[in-house]
Structure 1
C-alpha cells in the first residue's frame, strides 16, 4: 500500500514538473535582477507575501548598497538569514543567521576584503542558482552546497557536504542590527529555539524562532560575546551565538527547518509543528514552486523579446514579495502598541512602504490580488487603532516615520473605489480623520495657511502637495459614506496645492508663513523644500486634479510644453552616487517615485502619442535583465509595478480613481486571469519596438477614442484591441474633458503669521484672488454670507477666536480658517524663585520625531545654562526636552531661529513656532517671529537625533538685538 502511495505521489510530481516546464512563467524570472547597482533586492527564497525571506547575506555593514543584505559585486557570503527587505533605501532585517562550516571556527564574521578573518566563505556566481522559491550556492571555503527554499512562516535549508567528518552549524544572533536582547534554548539534540529583539530602522523588532535539524547533533556550544558558556542549554544576552556539531558522511545532506514568529517562542514552535509537519526540503520546494506558478500565471504575455519577458516576470515576481504575512497560524500577531492581538477576519501584514507603493504596487494588486488588498486595508486600520494614526512606513510593527504624507488613505480609498469591500470602511474613515487632524509634521500650519510654510518645516512643498492628494482620498471615502460636509472640507484641503504655485515661474515653490516666496528659486535644485527631488519632479504631483493644475498652467498646450521641458532640461547640479534622484531623462527621475506618473500626463494634454513614446523610452532605457538592471531602489515592488502595468499598456496615475491611463504595451497579447473567473485581454496588433504608437483602439468591439480604461472594464473581463504603427496618430484621444470635480473658493489668510500680540492686533485678511468675498466671526462660530463681511483691516485689543472663509461665484465656499488671537502678558514670578538656566530631560531610545520621546522616562534630568548637546551620553538615538523661561529684555517683535540634525521644535508661551518632525540636515534653518512683552515667558525646545552629524543651533534677533546665539543670561527656570 505504501509503495502505491509513493508511485502516485511521484506521478503527481512528474505531472507538476512537466506542467512547469511547458507553461510556468517562473522560467523568465531572474531574482538576481536588482541585486547590483542600487536596486537593493535579494536573490533568496520566498513564497508570495511570505513571512520568511531566506537569502544569503554578503554585507552586514551600514553601506547604502547593503540594504538588502546581498550585493552582486561581492564575492563572499557571511551566511543565510531569514528576513530581508526588497529594495529599500535603509537597512534592516537579516535576522537569525545560519552558516554551515567545516574546519576551525572563527566566531567573527570577517570582512569582504579579507574573508579569512571570519567565518564567511568565498563563492562564485557560477555556482549560484536562483528561481522563485529556491536558491542554491556552493561555499568554496567549506566545500558545501547550500540550498534554500521557503514556506509561509518557515525557511528550509539543505546543506550537502563534499567530505565526511565533523561539520558545524553556526547560529548567529549578533548578525546585522544592534541587539536589545536575545535568547537561545537547546531543547534537545535536534531542536533549538530562541528570540532576537533588535533596533535599527525598526526601533523595536521582536522575532522568535524554532529550529529543527534532520540529524541529531553530537554536541552543542553556546557563546556570549565570543566566550563559551559552559554546561548550559539556555542563555540570554545581547551577543549570543551557538554551534551544533554533527558528523556527516561524504555527500550526506543535512536539512534544517526554521519557523518564525513575532509573538513568542511558543508561536514559532506552533508554526513549525503546523506548517512543516510531514514536509521535507524537496516537498517544500515543490510547494513553493507551485505557489509561484499560480501567482505568476495570473498574467500571461505573448510577443516581446526574451529580455522583455525576463524583465516583466521578474518585475511581477518583485511585486509579489511585500507586504509580508505577520501573524502566526493561530492568528496572533504583535501590534504597533507592542501588545499581542488576534486577527479576526483578516490577515495581518507588515512592510508597508506606502510613500512608494501607493502609486503602482497597490493599484496593481487590486487587480491581481483583490482579497489580499482588502486585508491590507483592514490591516492598516488596525495599525492606526493601535498606534494612534496611520503609519507612514510600517516595519515589524514599528513606524519608521520615513518619508512624508499619510498614504495609507490612498491604499484604502483606491481599494474601495475598485469594489474591494472586505474591510471596515467606517473605521477606516475614522482613522483617516484622526490622522489628518494631527498637529504634527506641518499639518497644523497646513490647515491654517493652506500650505506647509518653508520656514517652519522641511520638505514643505512636497508635504503640501502630498497632503492635498491624501485629503482628496479622504474626501472620496467621506463621499462614499454620505458625509457631505466632510467631503466639502477635505475637497477644500485638496485644493491647497494652488497656494504654492508661483504663476511667475510656472512651478510649485516654497513659501514662508508670511506668504512670501522663498528666494533664489531654481527648479532643478534638489533642496530642503522637496522630498528626494526638485521642483521639476514635484510640481505636477496633483494627480487628483489634473484639470486644476492644467488651469494653473493656462491650458493643455502649456501642459504639453511643460512636460516637454521636463524630459529635455538637463540636470545642472552634481548628484552623489547614493542619491535617490536617478534614472534621469532630462529632469524626469525614474529612479525615484515622484516622477512615476508624469509620462502619462501627456494624455491629459491631448498628446497621447507622447505618452506612448515616452513610456516606451523609459521601459527600454531604465529596465534591463541584468543584476544592475534597475535604475534605482526597487522600493518594495514600486519600481517593478510601474513596469508591469506599463508593459501591459496602462497605468494608475491617480490611485483612488477606478481608472487607468493608456500607454503603449510592449507585448502583442496580454491576458489577466482574474479571481472572479473572468479574463481581461489586450491585443496590440502589428506591435514592435518601432510600432509603438496607437493608431486606433476598440473596447469590446466598439471604438475607443480616449486614452483611459476603467477598472470595471478590466474586472469584467473586457477585450481591448490596439492597432499599432510606427508613426504617431496625433488625432487619437485628443478630445480630453478636463472637468474639475470640485471648485472651491481660494483660501484667505491673515497677513500676520503669529497669533500673539502685546497691546493691539491689526486684523488684515487677504486673498490672492480679487474676486472672492471674505466673511468672518470673532467668537469662533462658523462664518457665512449672512454674517460680517471683511472689507478693510481693523484693530482688536483683546483676545478673540477669529474664524473666516471665502466665497466666490460658481465656487463652493472656501475652507474655514480658525486663528486664536491672544493678547499676551509677561509672566509674574517671585524673584527668589527664578534661577538661571533651563531644565532638561535627556532620553535614549529609538526616536523618529520630536514627539516620540514625550511619554518615555528620561535617562537623566538636570539644569543647563543654554540648550546644548554636551549633556548627551551618546550621539545617536536620543531626545532632549529643554524647558523653562526666557527673559525678554524689551517689548517688540522677536525672531527665533533653529537649525538641527536631526529634528527640533520650539514653543513660546505654549505657541509652537515651528517643528521639524523628521530627519534633515542642519543646513535647513527654521525661523518664526512673534510679539513678546518685556519680562519672563515660557519657552520649550525639543530635539531628537537618529544618527549622523549631530548638531543644534538656537538663535534670535529682536529690538536692539542682532541675530546671535541666545545668551545664557536670558534663560531661567523656577526653583520648585
Structure 2
C-alpha cells in the first residue's frame, strides 16, 4: 500500500501550548522543502501558537516561515477572505467560525469554509507561492485582506494584479529581510484601500482564483515565481511533488496495524530544511546572501536546527533522498562561504541556538556514505575552520573554541550548558577526524580523534555521571543527577551522560564495563521520572513530558534521548531494544492532534519514528552502521535511489505480543548490525520475532 496523500491529516501533533508539547507542529500545506508554508490562523493572541486544531476560529491563511514556536515566525503574511463592509481593523472583528471536522488539511490541499461570510477558501501550493480559490455561496462580491504584524505595503499594477512587500529583520543578526509578493486575480479588482496597516482588495465577482508568487530577491523575481496555471493544475502538480518522495516507501502488508502515524511521519520528514534559493528567468540558481544583502549564485536552504536533525533526518535522507542531501550540502557550503562559519540553526540566517556545531554530523555522515564526494574537501575545510575559531559575538560556530582547545572542556564558570557543549564538541571532533582520515589528512585525523575523547575530562568516577568543572578542574558543588539545565541542554546528567554517540565503547569502559553500562541503562528505564528545575527556575515543557510519560528517565520526548533505547544493543541485554521500541511506538506516537511525545523538531522525531518502524537506527551519524530494532509492519519496501533498487523488509511472526527479535538475516546471511553500504546492495532484510527472548 503506497501512501494516499488525501489520507494524511496535517494537524497531527498540533494541539499544544507554551507549557506542554504534543509535537509543537503546525499543519503546513506546502511542497516538500518548499520556500513557504500555509497554515490557517485561529488566534493572534498566543504568539507562535497561532493555530490550535480544536478552536473553530478562522482569521485567515497565514503564509508562514515558522520552523518552530521556540524560533518564531518571520516575513509572514495573513490573507483573509471576507464579504461586506469592514470598519474595524482588528483581526478579532474580522474573524469567522469554521467547522474543523469539515475542513481539509492535506499536504497539498487546504480547504476551509467560513461560516460568517459563507466563503469556501481553498489553497494549493507551489515551491514559491500558491494558488488560491475563493467562492462566496451567497454570491456576494469577494474581498481579501492582507495583514502582517510588522506592516506590509501593496500597490495595484493593473486591473488584475498587485505587488507588495513584507518587511522584517532577522532575529539574531538584525539583518533586513524583505518578502516580495505578487498577486494575480482572474477577476477584476474594483478597489484597493487601507484599513489602518492592512490592505483591502475588493473584487468584482463572487468567485476568484488568485495566483501568489513570492521572492526574497525582487518584485520582478516574485512575478517570475507566480504560477501561471489554474488551481486544479497546481493541485495536480503539488500532489505529484509529494508522491515523488512518499512513494519511496510502500507498506506491502500492514498486518492490521494502524498506518496513519507512519504516513504522517513521512510527510513531516520531507518538510525541512526549506528552500531559500530561487531560479531566475535563465534557469540559474540565485539566493539572497543575508550577510551582505547581496544576491549570490547557487543554492541555499534554511529553517533547520542541526542539533535536532543530524540524528535522524539526514541519515534518512542518505538512504531515500541522497540527491536532495547533495543539494542541502551545496546550500550549507554557500552559507560558510558567505559568513565564514558552518550553520548551527538557520531561520532564516544563523540563530546561534543550541550547543555544538552538529552540522559536522551531517557532513561526516555524507562523507562516510559517499554522498556528494565532489564537495567533501571543501566541506572538510569548512568544518576545520569553523572548529578552530571563536565568533566574538557568540552567534556563529563553537562558543569558547579557544578555551575548549586549552582545557579539553568548557568550564561552567564561563559557559552556560558547558557539559552539553563539551559532549557535542567531542562528537564534532570525531566527525572531523572521520572526514580527515577519509580524505587522507592523517595528522589532522589523529589530532581530532584524540580530542574526541575529551568527554572523559568530565566523567566523574565517584558518581558515574558527566559533570561540570571550573577552570581549575574542580567539580561544581551540590551535584544532583536530577538537576536539569545549568550545565545540560534540555536534560539532566542522567540523559547527557549517555550522549557519547561516537564512543560507546569508551563510555562503557569508563563506567566500569558491560555490566555497569547495562545497569545504568536499566536504572534509566526503571527510575521514577524525577527532575529538579535548578538551571531554569521553572518547569520547562520537556520536564513535564518526561514526568507524564511512563518511561522513567528515558525522556524520549527530546532529542538527547533518541538513541537510548538502541544502546541496549551495546549492552548485556540487547533484546531489550525491541521491547522498548515497541512500547514507545505504541504508547508515545498516536495518530491525532496529540501525536508526539514532545517537540517534533524539523522532522527529526518523525524520522526517529520511521527508523523505528523500519527496524534499524543510525546510532552514530558519521559511522557506516545501523543498530537493529524491530519493524512495525510484517512487510514493506523502501526505495534506495543510489542503486535504483528496492529493499524489502519482512518481519516473520509479527504478532502484537511478540516483542523480541529471534534472528536477523540480510539477503539470507545472519546479521546483528547493518551497514549503509550493505543495505544499498541488498534486496531482502528478514526479522524473525518471538514471544520470549531466545538465549
If the length of structure 2 is used for normalisation, what is the TM-score? 0.93
In the TM superposition, what are the counterparts of 1:152-167 in structure 2 within 5 Å? 152-167=127-142
- How far is the alpha carbon of 1:51 from its aligned partner? 1.2
Q: Does 1:139 align with 2:114?
A: yes
- How far is the alpha carbon of 1:74 from its aligned partner? 2.4
- How far is the alpha carbon of 1:219 from its aligned partner? 1.2
Selected match of 1:498 from 433, 439, 456: 456
3-state SS, counterpart of residue 213 of structure 2: strand
Partners in 2 of 1:106 and 1:320 — Cα distance?
A: 42
Answer yes or no: is the 8 Å Cα contact 1:77–1:123 preserved in 2.
yes
- How far is the alpha carbon of 1:103 from its aligned partner? 2.0
Partner of 2:161: 191
Partner of 2:79: 98
- How far is the alpha carbon of 1:559 from its aligned partner? 1.1
Contiguous gaps of at least 5 residues in structure 2:
392-398
Partner of 1:48: 32
Partner of 2:656: 689
Change (3 A) 1:87 1:73: farther
3-state SS, counterpart of residue 201 of structure 2: strand
Answer yes or no: is the 8 Å Cα contact 2:188–2:204 preserved in 1.
no
Change (3 A) 1:716 1:61: farther
Answer yes or no: is the 8 Å Cα contact 1:133–1:289 preserved in 2.
yes
- How far is the alpha carbon of 1:23 from its aligned partner? 4.6
Q: Does 1:150 align with 2:125?
A: yes
Partner of 2:418: 460
Answer yes or no: is the 8 Å Cα contact 1:304–1:688 preserved in 2.
no
Partners in 2 of 1:336 and 1:84 — Cα distance?
A: 16
- How far is the alpha carbon of 1:207 from its aligned partner? 1.4
3-state SS, counterpart of residue 82 of structure 1: strand
Answer yes or no: is the 8 Å Cα contact 1:299–1:673 preserved in 2.
yes
Partners in 1 of 2:63 and 2:682 — Cα distance?
A: 39
Partners in 2 of 1:24 and 1:507 — Cα distance?
A: 44
Partners in 1 of 2:647 and 2:628 — Cα distance?
A: 15
3-state SS, counterpart of residue 503 of structure 2: helix
Q: Does 1:579 align with 2:506?
A: no
Answer yes or no: is the 8 Å Cα contact 1:622–1:631 preserved in 2.
yes
Answer yes or no: is the 8 Å Cα contact 1:455–1:512 preserved in 2.
yes
Answer yes or no: is the 8 Å Cα contact 2:418–2:468 preserved in 1.
yes
Partner of 2:598: 632
- How far is the alpha carbon of 1:107 from its aligned partner? 5.2
Selected match of 1:395 from 337, 344, 347: 347
3-state SS, counterpart of residue 221 of structure 1: strand
Answer yes or no: is the 8 Å Cα contact 1:666–1:688 preserved in 2.
no
Answer yes or no: is the 8 Å Cα contact 1:671–1:679 preserved in 2.
yes
Partner of 1:363: 315
Please give the per-residue CA displacement for 1:301-337, whole angstroms capped at 9, x wherever unaligned.
Answer: 2444666411111001100011111112221111242
Partners in 1 of 2:257 and 2:115 — Cα distance?
A: 31
Partners in 2 of 1:373 and 1:358 — Cα distance?
A: 12
If the length of structure 1 is used for normalisation, what is the TM-score? 0.66
Selected match of 1:404 from 332, 355, 358: 355
Partners in 2 of 1:44 and 1:106 — Cα distance?
A: 31
Partners in 1 of 2:522 and 2:87 — Cα distance?
A: 59
Partner of 1:262: 216
- How far is the alpha carbon of 1:280 from its aligned partner? 0.8
Answer yes or no: is the 8 Å Cα contact 1:92–1:200 preserved in 2.
no
Change (3 A) 1:519 1:590: same
Selected match of 1:605 from 571, 578, 583: 571
Change (3 A) 1:56 1:201: farther
Partner of 1:812: none
Q: Does 1:26 align with 2:32?
A: no
Partner of 2:384: 433
Partners in 2 of 1:143 and 1:609 — Cα distance?
A: 58
- How far is the alpha carbon of 1:595 from its aligned partner? 0.5
> Across the two proteins, how many residue pairs are aligned to each other?
668
Q: Which has the higher contact order (CA 8 A, sep 6+)?
A: 2
Partner of 2:190: 218
3-state SS, counterpart of residue 424 of structure 1: helix
- How far is the alpha carbon of 1:642 from its aligned partner? 0.3
Partner of 2:409: 451
Structure with bigger helix share is 2
Partner of 1:421: 372
Partners in 2 of 1:254 and 1:352 — Cα distance?
A: 35
Partners in 1 of 2:88 and 2:215 — Cα distance?
A: 26
Q: Does 1:646 align with 2:597?
A: no
- How far is the alpha carbon of 1:573 from its aligned partner? 3.1
In the TM superposition, what are the counterparts of 1:260-299 in structure 2 within 5 Å? 260-272=214-226, 276-277=227-228, 279-299=229-249
Answer yes or no: is the 8 Å Cα contact 1:54–1:149 preserved in 2.
no
Change (3 A) 1:391 1:24: closer
Change (3 A) 1:62 1:480: farther
Answer yes or no: is the 8 Å Cα contact 1:41–1:70 preserved in 2.
no
- How far is the alpha carbon of 1:86 from its aligned partner? 4.4
Partner of 2:199: 242
Partner of 1:483: 441
In the TM superposition, what are the counterparts of 1:962-973 in structure 2 within 5 Å? none
Please give the per-residue CA displacement for 1:104-142, whole angstroms capped at 9, x wherever unaligned.
Answer: 3255343xxxx4xx2122222122111221111111111
Partners in 1 of 2:539 and 2:140 — Cα distance?
A: 47
Partners in 1 of 2:179 and 2:329 — Cα distance?
A: 24
Partners in 2 of 1:308 and 1:577 — Cα distance?
A: 34
Kindly name which structure, 1 or 2, has the bigger radius of gyration based on alpha carbons. 1
Partners in 2 of 1:623 and 1:94 — Cα distance?
A: 32
Partner of 1:206: 178
Partners in 2 of 1:683 and 1:160 — Cα distance?
A: 49
Answer yes or no: is the 8 Å Cα contact 1:696–1:724 preserved in 2.
yes
- How far is the alpha carbon of 1:666 from its aligned partner? 1.0
Answer yes or no: is the 8 Å Cα contact 1:86–1:321 preserved in 2.
no
In the TM superposition, what are the counterparts of 1:339-350 in structure 2 within 5 Å? 339-344=293-298, 347-350=299-302
3-state SS, counterpart of residue 625 of structure 1: coil
Answer yes or no: is the 8 Å Cα contact 1:28–1:309 preserved in 2.
no
- How far is the alpha carbon of 1:689 from its aligned partner? 1.8
- How far is the alpha carbon of 1:493 from its aligned partner? 1.4
Answer yes or no: is the 8 Å Cα contact 1:307–1:624 preserved in 2.
no
Structure with bigger strand share is 1
Q: Does 1:617 align with 2:583?
A: yes
Partners in 1 of 2:105 and 2:613 — Cα distance?
A: 24
Q: Does 1:671 align with 2:671?
A: no
Partner of 1:120: 95
